[in-house]
Each structure stands twice: as C-alpha cells, then as structure tokens.
Amino acid sequence: MVVCIILIYLIIEVIVTNKYTRKSGEVDEFRPTCKTRSWSQEAFTMSSQQKEPKICGSVVGCLPETYGINISKLPLGEGRPWNQMKWMGKPARCRVKGHLIESLDDIYNFRRGWALKYVKDVEDKYHLVPWLLGNRVDLNLSKRRVYLDLGANSFKSSIQWFMQMYPCDFKEVHAFESNPNVFEFPKEEFDEDSNFKVQKNKNAIAVIKTPEIPKWMIKRMHIYNSLVSDFDDESTKIVNITRFIKETLKLKATDTVVVKMDIEGNEWSILEKWLEDSDMVDIIDELFVEVHYYHPSVRWDNKDHTRDQASHLFASLRTKGFYVHPWP
C-alpha cells in the first residue's frame, strides 16, 4: 500500500516537473520576451554613440516604429495584455537636442491601462524618470531656473512631483490653475521634533499635524487664477502664454525652463504656433504635455482630434527640436 502511494506520488511528480520545466530554446509564452539587451546598456547614458537612421529629422522618424499597428488586432498572447502598461520604455529612434528620449508609444499619451483597470493611478509618471533632461544635462548651471505649470490642478498633482523629483533646483514656479477651488495653497511646514505623539502601541507612531510644504518652497511659487491659451482676454481671464513667457517673464534661451501643460484641449492652438516659433524651442528646455483627443475609453471632452493627430503633433514637436514627453 505505502509503496503504491509512493509510486503514484513519484509518477505525478515527474509529470508535473516535465510540464513546468522548459527545455532550453523554448519560449515562455506567458511573459513578453525580453529584447532589451541590444540597447539597455547604452540607453540611459549620454555618451552612447547609437546610430540614428537617415529618417531622423523628419516626422516619420520621430513616430514609433509600431506606428499604425492596430493593437486590438494583435492576437492575445503577443504581449497582451501587458502592452497596456507603461513600461520604462525603449529610446526613440531619433534623438532630440542630441539626447536620447523615450519612444513615442501611444501608451504614454493614452490612459489605456487606467481605462482597463490595470493601474489605479491615472497620473502614473515614473516611466519618465530615466528620460528627464535634468538627468542628462546639469540644468542647475543656469542662473535663472523656472518651472511653469499650466493647468496645475492641486499642489500634489504635479508641482510637488517636479519640486521633489525633478533633478533641478527651480528658483521660480509659475502655476496656472483656472479653478480657484482646485488649487489649495500648501500650509506652513511642520516641526519635525515635536510633531509626533506616541500611541498605545509604541510601534504605531502618529503625527499631530500632517507635514506640509517647506516655507522656502512656497516662497518660490506664483499662482495665477487664469486660463492659458494663445491669446489674451482680460474679461474671461485668458492669458496668451507665449506673450507671458517672452514678455512678462522675459525668459531667454540661456535660462532653464521646464514646462508642464495639461490644459484640456487648449494645447493644440498653442503648440501649433510654437511649431513655427523658433524662439520658443530655444527658450523651453523640456516640455511635458497631455495632448487631448477623442477616444471612447479616455473620456476627454475633445471631439476635434484623433489619437493619430496627437501622435503626429508630438512627432512634429520633436522634429522641430522640442524635448517633449506625453504627460502623464
């Protein structure tokens, strides 16, 4: 009897082991195959001598190699559903301002992962970290260092991220938020030494006040309760952002200027002007923009533009020399 049980056990063991042990050369179809080796070693370094194809300098060269592939037509198993996720990403075929930048895959300007509930955070932006210009050149070397947040929303949604994560010590922050109820000015900083109370459970330390933003950070911030567009209109509080950058702030090519733009559709008219404006491409070091368009899963209120047009806009901006990323 015992011998019988041991025998059955051994037979099952052999079957199971065979089923899950891959012979060499076999591809694991459940995981996307990792093809990163040909580029990963040099991908994040400034000195890499990656050869660029001849099409660089054209819009087509700046579009991703997968451009035009209809993802819903790919059979399940070829990377799906994982191609809905924002991976750290490959570098684009063409450099911008001489620097490697992430490939313009649609997922970076598309909330597919969020819409399909693969991720919880619509604002997930950590895939951008390796490609930040501030990680490639020292943006602290400019005397004037400005961060412009157009469509700031709450302090936590992007200003805080840029002040904490972006490798530049911004001396000025100019934030536009048209809805006065959305932007809550951060309160005073907290006192690190006396802000804790000890709980009954000694390991559960609790703060008395929620830590706030340091005063030095608040002093650098300027908040404008206006909408941003490509024309001025005082009666409806609309600001011509090009004029504001050139004439009000008097920003120059020698300054460090990083811009984030999330203005619910107004980006189209502004960016189409900037494509023809050689001052703006020199003034702005790095640009983050959420380009809005129509897609049933994205629920943006924009009926005028398609996702293809959004990809083309990004590619055109890069062709003109804007170091631009889809935001978030």
Ligand X SMILES: *[C@@H]1O[C@H](CO)[C@@H](O)[C@H](O)[C@H]1NC(C)=O
Report the residue from 123, 246, 300, 309 that binds ligand X according to the rule CB under 6 A: 246
Cα–Cα distance measured from residue 162 to residue 34, given in angstroms and rounded to the nearest whole number: 31
Q: Convert residues 49-88 into a mask of x (bound to ligand X by CB under 6 A) and - (unbound).
A: ---------------------x-xx---------------
Cα–Cα distance measured from residue 63 to residue 94, given in angstroms and rounded to the nearest whole number: 9
Closer Cβ to ligand X, 132 or 317, answer by number: 132
Cα–Cα distance measured from residue 99 to residue 286, given in angstroms and rounded to the nearest whole number: 12
| Pairing mode, strands 196-198 and 172-176 | unpaired
First to last CA, the chain: 64
Backbone φ/ψ region at 253: left (φ over 0), alpha (ψ -120 to 50), beta: alpha
Closer Cβ to ligand X, 24 or 70, answer by number: 70
Kind and range of the H or E run holding 282: helix 278-283
Q: What are phi and psi of 101, to 5 degrees?
A: -145, 160
Write down the least CB distance from residue 72 to ligand X, Å.
4
- Is residue 226 involved in binding ligand X (CB under 6 A)? no
- Cα-based distances in Å from 200 to 195, 205, 206, 211: 17, 9, 11, 22
- Is residue 233 involved in binding ligand X (CB under 6 A)? no
Closer Cβ to ligand X, 226 or 240, answer by number: 240
# chain residues binding ligand X, by CB under 6 A: 15
Report the residue from 132, 163, 168, 317 that binds ligand X according to the rule CB under 6 A: 168
Closer Cβ to ligand X, 283 or 324, answer by number: 283
Which two tokens mark 51? Answer: 């050869």
Among the residue ranges 21-29, 42-50, 164-172, 198-206, the one whose residues contact ligand X (CB under 6 A): 164-172
Q: Convert residues 105-124 into a mask of x (bound to ligand X by CB under 6 A) and - (unbound).
A: --------------------
- Is residue 169 involved in binding ligand X (CB under 6 A)? yes
Binding site for ligand X (CB under 6 A): 70, 72-73, 138, 140, 167-169, 230-231, 240, 242-243, 246-247
